[in-house]
Amino acid sequence: MSTSNKMMKAVNVTKKNIKTITVIGGGRIGSGLVQIAAQNAQKVILVETNQELLKKSAEKIIENLTEYAREMYKDKADVKKYIENTMEFVTGTTNPKRAVRETDLVIEAIHEDFDEKRNLFKLIDKSAPEDTIFATTTNSLTIGGFAQKSTRVERFVGIHFFYPVPETKLVEIIKVSITNKNIVDAISAWCKNIGKIPVICNDSAGFIVNRLLLSYITEAIRMMERADASANDIDTAMKLATGSPIGPIQLADYMGHDNILKLIENWRSREPENRLFAPCASQKYLVQRGMLGVKSGQGYYKYNDLKYWVTTFSHRFKNKSDWLRQYQIWKRAAEKRRANN
């Protein structure tokens, strides 16, 4: 098919065409996408590498749907019915080629590895209809790098969802220079149809949110490194000044310092002269010693000691025995997270 014919196919893609989606990868983002698509009565196919992962993803989706349904219905029968009706829209498979044969939109949601993502798109490219839109949920890699290796360059976009997907309204739609405008419009309409608010940007390092957010976090860490102010005072100042529940340095702990450094490394490869993408010395030090933040129990702050638990969680429990029992559960979970990281 000629280029002009391919472009005509893309032009014909409209909101009403996106009725079936395929999500490849059932992790935090992928399972969240499956959930909101099903909740909005869209047929969705979830692809995982094996049956065990499919089962885990389904269990997570059902768990989230249960919490959601309990807020709407008091009767257990109504909760059960809501979950069953929603899950009727979901199909699971371990065969990615088969999963894309009759789909309008393919969303890749596997882990951040350029070669694995690129190979996945190459694998499914010929199996999907020519007018199917391909999308990646990457938050750090170049969209153009994937699109240029595809036979559907004008029908390739980035769709950056934020965690937790069902609750967070924002979606960044990332386009390259030759992305067809009607494709962007179709994706924007689809996002609105599932209750999201889309913003559109070009394929630049970090897109909108992460580029601004990490610049903010990095400058706060550099202030601390220069001894301009302590971590606690920087966080306190920004919480009070902006109304945010969390300061920039503690936010870095929650994001994970290994994740932040990986993002910065990817962006720096694209813009090597940009000072914003130079890693912070103290952050490199933390990662080298396994102090990754909340998930490991310690970053710039400690998250596995009694003081942190009392400050953060103890107010939820009035009964002393409940308080102690919950602390012990939390402590074991914190130690397990630290061992796994």
Sheet with 105-108: strands ordered across? 90-93, 43-47, 20-24, 105-108, 133-136, 156-161, 170-175, 197-202
Token reading at 229? 């102010």
Q: Are residues 190 and 45 in the same domain?
A: yes
pTM: predicted TM-score of the whole model, two decimal places: 0.82
Q: What is the pLDDT of residue 140?
A: 83
Structure confidence by residue, pLDDT tens digits, 220-229: 999 999 999 9
Q: Are residues 150 and 16 in the same domain?
A: yes
Q: Are residues 258 and 278 in the same domain?
A: yes
Q: Which residue has the tokens 């609750």?
A: 167
Q: How far apart are CA 152 and CA 102, in angstroms?
A: 16
Q: Are residues 74 and 171 in the same domain?
A: yes
Q: Are residues 184 and 219 in the same domain?
A: no
Q: Are residues 98 and 162 in the same domain?
A: yes
At 339, the pLDDT band (50, 70, 90 cuts) reads low
A 10 A CB-CB count for 245 gives 8
Q: What is the pLDDT of residue 220?
A: 97
